[in-house]
Amino acid sequence: MIESRPIPTRVRPFEKTQQATPALLKVILGRPLAPTRREYDEAVAGLNVGDTLMDPVADWLMQSPKAHRGMFQQALTQGVESLSDCPPELQALFAEVDRVPAWVDRQLMDEGISFIHASGLTALQVMRDLALMGGYLLSGFNQALVMTGALTNGTSQRVAETGKWWMDCTERGGLDRFGAGTQSTLHVRLVHAIVRRQLNQREDWDHAQWALPLNQIDMAATYLGFSVVMLGGLRKLGIQATPQEARGVMQLWSYACWLMGVDEKWLRFSETDGVILLNTALMTQSRADWTSKALGKALSEEPLVRRFPAFAKYGLEQPMRKFVYHQHLSVSRYFLTPEQFDQLGLPTHISAWYPWLTLAPRAFTYTAQRLLPRWHQSQVSRGRAAQRAAVGAVFGKKPHQLTPVAPGASA
């Protein structure tokens, strides 16, 4: 039985979610895109559910931040068995983390990782210029970001930290128990729990409108951005995943976001099922508002403060910044409408020049390299090297590590 609670005002009424599904899409999905009444009710209920294992850890940590933070880090990097007096909160969390779910298929995940590596910089462009930028149109997501200053202040650092987490998760072995991706994910999960705890106690957090901060549905929709949205965006830019690769990508991010605290009931292992859940999650979101403009503008201008040392010595750093600024905007324009650009506070005269110039060469070379195994492996290696260089460029000379959890940090 689904618990009955007042529906947050950000949620679209059920009747308005029942638009007819185009015939071809219905055939592809094998069902209508619109949620059933039960799916809708479950999603609404999920807006008031947090992280049942990490939230108690956040409460425990804040009782003695300095000492408890060190214990959490030790359990994270060495296992709870290394603690002589492990609190029950950590025991419960890591008992679950140490349990590898039966549905995890490491070989399938590796196929997804190979596809992500081979997609090179195009994957990063889709994640930044479609998933992240487009996500700002959904103001229900934005409230926690704006109230913590997470992306309006220090946008470059925050974007780089997200890139660092993405890189850790997509390394081979990154999601092993003591892999970099698992450790980064659990670190971010703790930060989310601390933010959830703080915002939930603030008088200016409107629960009637926004529901619980960083709730299950918002987290599920975010993980679908790394899987469903990325696959669709890459396809539109000329990079096609095979059915097996698509399943691998879905598997990879399902496991990563299970580690992030997303309940198994919200995991989807096929792209079509992911599309259906993403559509349902979007029905719970508010329309674009002033937060969309604030975050969109901040993200769009991030390249204007990025460092380009190789160009600086020739006096070309500023022209390069402007080129990358327009390049990112053109990718966003390829996916988003002028009306959405206006809602994001972006210049509406921008054209999709970069994707259109590069689409045919990219589609041809990516498709052709599949015919020769050695060429394909070379593409995988080159693509990953380009991803590392791009994330490193945003970090500059700063070390590649996430912001440490501090007492009272707003994340």
Query: End-to-end alpha-carbon separation of the chain, Å?
Result: 35
Instruction: List the domain boundaries for the chain.
Output: 54-395
pLDDT of residue 142: 87
Token pair of 108, please? 């399938």
Query: Structure tokens of 59?
Result: 């409460």
Residue 77: Cβ within 10 Å count: 10
Other CB atoms within 10 A of residue 4 CB: 9
Nearest to 12 by CA among 281, 348, 243: 281
pLDDT at position 410: 31
**Buried-state track 10-36, b at ≥16 Cβ within 10 A, e below 16:** bbeebeebeeebeeeeeeebeeebbbe
pLDDT in tens, the chain (411 residues): 445 578 999 999 999 999 999 999 999 999 999 999 999 999 999 999 999 999 999 999 999 999 999 999 999 999 999 999 999 999 999 999 999 999 999 999 999 999 999 999 999 999 999 999 999 999 888 888 888 875 556 677 778 888 999 999 999 999 999 999 999 999 999 999 999 999 999 999 999 999 999 999 999 999 999 999 999 999 999 999 999 999 999 999 999 999 999 999 999 999 999 999 999 999 998 889 999 999 999 999 999 988 888 888 889 999 999 999 999 999 999 999 999 999 999 999 999 999 999 999 999 999 999 888 889 999 999 999 999 998 887 765 554 444 433 333 333
pLDDT at res. 202: 93
Phi-psi region of 238 (alpha: psi -120 to 50; beta: other; left: phi over 0): left
- Quick one: pLDDT at residue 97? 96
- Residue bearing tokens 């979007």: 282
Residues 6+ apart with CB under 8 A from 318: none
